[in-house]
Amino acid sequence: MEVLEDKWKKLRLLEEEVSDIIIEDNVSEELRYKEQRSLVGRMVSSRTISREALEATMAKIWRINKAAKFMKVSMNIFVLVFENQEDKLRVWAGRPWLFDNNMLALREFEAHIPLHRISFDHESFWIRMHNLPLSCMTKERGVQIGSTVGKVEEVDVQDDGYGWGSYLRVRVYMNLTQPLARDRTLEVKGESVWVPFSYEKMPRICFSCGCIVHWTNGCCSVLEDSENKEVQYGAWLRATQFQRVKNSSNFFRREEGG
Ligand SMILES: [Zn+2]
């Protein structure tokens, strides 16, 4: 689509071709309601994903009142229409979602934006930060460390402000075209503390460059030129052991000590 737009810019156009047609913002109530209960999704995969398989699988995974309808708009891009807003918000809050370990990146549906302009370069993930000293298992430290990865949306702490467990959970809105952050090193009262990360519901990633998404640019890995041939990314970044907690906005929480 971008290519077509570029080609158009080079043409000498007639007056009626360049004059804007003003579109009033007076969509029907029905359409507005549909917009409010829809999302746009893109499957991160180089092969074509079947709409039917995706719709049927997500219906099982989401456990919402009524299965969402998937409408294909182009290769691996779908408009998802939910029965009601409640179902949509439930799915939205539970991101990220995987189909066959590939990511289904979701965006709010905005009816006035052409679909090819919607960017699917970001998604929210729960990162587990391991090995933190107790003094750092707090909301403030979670925000501080998480902000070096992306935009922090939530830190899973209890009412006293502390995360009691073997890791701190931080929800971060991350850029998928950047290598996954594997760790951070803190300096706590002069002591160096290594904090490895793991990711809940981590999709397939490129083990060469650590990115979830390549799109058209291909792999940015410099592994081949590097002295160090060790594989830099792997399944060890995937957190395991989920427990579903009812009435929780988080959908998934850690198993104690897990
Ligand atoms: Zn890569």
Q: Does residue 8 lie within any of the structural domains?
A: no
Q: Does residue 241 lie within any of the structural domains?
A: yes
Residues 166 and 185 both lie in one domain: yes
Find the 44 Cα to ligand 1 centroid distance in Å.
13
Residues 129 and 219 both lie in one domain: yes
Q: Does residue 149 lie within any of the structural domains?
A: yes
The whole-number pLDDT of residue 152 equals 98
Q: Does residue 17 lie within any of the structural domains?
A: no
Place of tokens 């999302």: 39
Cβ atoms of residues 221 and 205 within 8 Å: no
Residues 103 and 178 both lie in one domain: no
Dihedral sign computed on CA atoms, order 24, 29, 30, 33: positive
Take residue 48 and report the two structure tokens written for it.
Answer: 């074509």
Cβ atoms of residues 105 and 124 within 8 Å: no
Find the 174 Cα to ligand 1 centroid distance in Å.
17
Domain end position, chosen among 117, 148, 174: 117
Find the 146 Cα to ligand 1 centroid distance in Å.
23
pLDDT digits (tens, 9 = 90+) for 212-253: 998 776 787 765 555 666 788 988 899 986 433 333 333 333
Residues 47 and 146 both lie in one domain: no
Please give the tally of structural domains in the chain. Answer: 2
Conformation bin of residue 215: beta by default, left when phi > 0, alpha when psi is -120 to 50: left
Residues 137 and 174 both lie in one domain: yes
Domain end position, chosen among 70, 96, 117: 117
Residues 53 and 133 both lie in one domain: no
Q: Does residue 2 lie within any of the structural domains?
A: no
Domain end position, chosen among 68, 99, 117: 117
Find the 207 Cα to ligand 1 centroid distance in Å.
7
Share of the chain above pLDDT 70, in %: 88
Residues 6+ apart with CB under 8 A from 249: 93
Residues 250 and 128 both lie in one domain: yes
CB atoms within 10 A of CB 228: 7
Write the CATH number for 80. 3.30.70.330
pLDDT digits (tens, 9 = 90+) for 44-92: 998 999 999 999 999 999 988 899 999 999 999 999 999 999 999 999 9
Q: Which amino acid is at 90?
A: R
Residues 153 and 248 both lie in one domain: yes
Find the 118 Cα to ligand 1 centroid distance in Å.
22
Q: Does residue 99 lie within any of the structural domains?
A: yes
* pTM, rounded to two decimals: 0.81
Residues 66 and 134 both lie in one domain: no
Find the 71 Cα to ligand 1 centroid distance in Å.
30
Find the 226 Cα to ligand 1 centroid distance in Å.
14
Residues 248 and 191 both lie in one domain: yes
Find the 214 Cα to ligand 1 centroid distance in Å.
7
Q: Which residues surround ligand 1, an ion (CB under 5 A)?
A: 206, 208-209, 219, 221
Find the 251 Cα to ligand 1 centroid distance in Å.
30
Q: Does residue 20 lie within any of the structural domains?
A: no
Find the 257 Cα to ligand 1 centroid distance in Å.
33
244 lies in which domain range?
123-254
Residues 92 and 132 both lie in one domain: no
Find the 219 Cα to ligand 1 centroid distance in Å.
4
What HEC string does the chain produce?
CHHHHHHHHCCCCCHHHHCCCCCCCCCCHHHHHHHHCEEEEEECCCCCCCHHHHHHHHHHHHCCCCCCEEEEEECCEEEEECCCHHHHHHHHHCCCEEECCEEEEEEECCCCCCHHHCCCCEEEEEEEEECCCHHHCEHHHHHHHHCCCCEEEEECCCCCCECCCCEEEEEEEEECCCCCCCEEEEEECCEEEEEEEEECCCCCCCCCCCCCCCCCCCCCCCCCCCCCCCCCCCHHHECCCEEECCCCCCCEEECCCC
Find the 230 Cα to ligand 1 centroid distance in Å.
15
pLDDT digits (tens, 9 = 90+) for 7-21: 877 888 788 787 888
Find the 227 Cα to ligand 1 centroid distance in Å.
18
pLDDT digits (tens, 9 = 90+) for 180-218: 999 999 999 999 999 999 999 999 999 989 999 987 767
Q: What is the mean pLDDT of the chain?
A: 86
Write the CATH number for 142. 3.30.70
Residues 127 and 108 both lie in one domain: no
Q: Does residue 10 lie within any of the structural domains?
A: no
